[in-house]
Structure 1
Amino acid sequence: MSVTTPRALSFDSAAAQYAAYRPGYPPALLDAVEELSGRPLHGARVADVGAGTGIATRLLHERGALVTAVEPGPGMAAELHSSLPSLPVVRGDGNRLPLATASADLITYAQSWHWTDPDRALPEALRVLRPGGALALWWNVSDESVPWIADQDARLRRHLGAGESVHGTGSRNLATLRGGDFVRRPVPWSRTVPLGTHLANLATHSAFLVRGGADGEPTRRFLDEERRHLAAVFPDGMVEERYVVELAVLVR
């Protein structure tokens, strides 16, 4: 296993909550992965790196892919294994993949590429990919063209610090990709969830987890205030979260 930052491993403390409250991905995302990689997912040998609790792993498996999950955190890996016991899970990370050379048709990073050292992770991905295989990176990014989401982001930055956001930094990560011809595509989507689910999702982000998570007094105070703000916007208690999945695909 490669060295992984304490912040990257902070999710272990909230693995069950992460599995319960984090958003998934729309079918259109996997359609785009198939189109840009030039092959169907059904029957493809896929390594899902930084798999977490298996949110993307499950969707890939349901498309017929033969998925191996790679995850550095013991808590996250255990949560993944408990929900997907038939799928192989190996401990490791993208900087030093515990996989054989030329063994994968597709390598995916769902919300996890930013935890790697790209100068190490990209050569590792190319080593593991078969000729013609593809590397797919994506991030769920909150759509800040929506006024309430932009307002919430401003409150989050005041609370966490100007450089912090839990709304996603996919565009920033895509802008720094180098070492290959990545094809990029935005995939918009939304989900509607109870207000409590929305707030619980916020608390599973590393910016909160490293500050004591949902049990920390500053976080509880912020979430209570946020509940009051959003109750005025969504009086029926159901929040429409709007996202743009920022996707980048590189074919070897």
Structure 2
Amino acid sequence: MTMPTRASRAHSFNAAAAAYAANRPSYPPALLDAVEDIAGRPLAGARVVDVGAGTGIATALLHARGARVVAVEPGDGMTEQFRRTLPGVPVVRGDGNHLPLADASADFVTYAQAWHWTDPDRSAPEAMRVLRPGGALALWWNVSDHGVPWIAAQDDRIRRFFGNDSAHGAHGTADRVRMTQGGPEFVRRGVPWTREVPLDTHLANLASHSGFLVAGEEATRAFVDEERTALTEVFPTGVVQEAYTVDLCVAVR
């Protein structure tokens, strides 16, 4: 399979924003507890900049926690979906490499499933610029628990489909938190959680990842059909228990 470009993968979400919003997993309440614990300050009442906000999955949780959130999102389709989902939360166009915000204007800068689309040599200094002294940069990703046999087997099938280790959207931890020399030091914490969803939701979530979005409709449909057969044997009731560990990294300015 021809490797898609990074740019094509980054922009692929805009055409699939509704499916992304409907099927992607959210995050457990314990995640925001951990953010507050490491940062040493509450989210309630804090000025939070949620970068690469997408359809607003993480933004909604931050808003419900009592944070005063401003979302930053570069994509047309994702921004349109965000505004339908969270009409009362401001969203501005921009990306982590060029934050359209004033110096020292935020208590938190957050990235949910988004830091890997930035250039850390630019996005790290930008986050530090926007944060107030004592503010915190928080990055997190839902990572499937490969200690669960069916998840490990699925990952093997995905790797065979793409013919490499990373095309379907996996990112090594070292790449996730790579910073400029002398940049902030991160505290890392894992937050395990699970969700139970219909098989159709699980498969739609899988197909909403950038590697599949750019692989082509025919190839993706063929893979999803085979995956449906394989998982029906594991989950005959049609309900899939997905297991994740949220990989959380927090740095305080």
Task: Specify which of 178, 183, 186 is matched with residue 187 of structure 2.
Answer: 183
1:172, distance to aligned residue in structure 2 (A): 4.3
C-alpha distance in 2 between matches for 1:151 and 1:23: 20
Helix, strand or coil: the match of 2:136? strand
Instruction: Give the Cα–Cα distance (whole angstroms) in 1 for the partners of residues 238 and 66 of structure 2.
Output: 36
1:131-146 alignment runs, 5 A limit:
131-146=133-148
Q: Quote the residue 1:233 is aligned against.
A: 234
Is the 2:169–2:211 Cα contact (8 Å) retained in structure 1?
no
Give 2:214's aligned residue. 210
> What is residue 121 of structure 2 aligned with on the other side?
119
CA shift at 1:177, angstroms?
Answer: 4.5
In the aligned structure 2, how far is the partner of 1:38 from the partner of 1:5?
36
Report the Cα offset of residue 7 of structure 1. Answer: 1.7
- CA deviations over 1:152-210 (Å, ceiling 9, x no partner): 00000100121235474353434635522100000000000000000000010000111
Partner of 2:159: 157
SS in structure 1 at match of 2:36: helix
What amino acid is aligned across from residue 210 of structure 1 in structure 2?
Answer: V
1:211 counterpart letter in structure 2: A
Confirm or deny that 1:249 pairs with 2:220.
no
Amino acid at match of 2:112: A
Q: How does 1:39-50 map to 2 (within 5 A)?
A: 39-50=41-52
For the 8 Å contact 2:120–2:178, the answer to whether it is kept is: no
SS of 2:138 mapped into structure 1: strand
CA distance in 2, matches of 1:234, 1:25: 23
2:8 alignment partner, SS class: coil
Q: Which amino acid counterpart does residue 143 of structure 1 have in structure 2?
A: D
Superposed displacement of residue 9, structure 1? 1.3
Work out the CA distance in 2 between the residues paired with 1:175 and 1:68. Answer: 23
Deviation per residue, 1:52-82 (Å, 9 max, x gap): 0000000000000000000000100110011
Contact 2:116–2:176 (CA<8 Å) still a contact in 1? Answer: no
Q: Which amino acid aligns with 1:188?
A: P
Higher mean alpha-carbon deviation, 170-179 vs 27-36, is at: 170-179
Gaps of 5+ in 1: none
**TM-score for the superposition, normalised by structure 1:** 0.94
Q: Which moved more, 1:172-181 or 1:82-91?
A: 172-181
Provide the identity percentage: 66
The answer on whether the counterparts of 2:169 and 2:210 sit within 8 Å (CA) in structure 1 is: no
TM-score, L = length of structure 2: 0.94
One-letter identity of the residue aligned with 2:23 = Y
Q: Which amino acid aligns with 1:35?
A: D
What are the Cα deviations for residues 115-150 of structure 1, in whole angstroms up to 9, with x where unaligned? 000000000000000000000000000000100000
Partners of 1:183 and 1:177 in 2: how far apart? 13
Residues 162, 168 of structure 2: 8 Å contact kept = no
Cα distance between partner residues in 2 of 1:175 and 1:99? 22
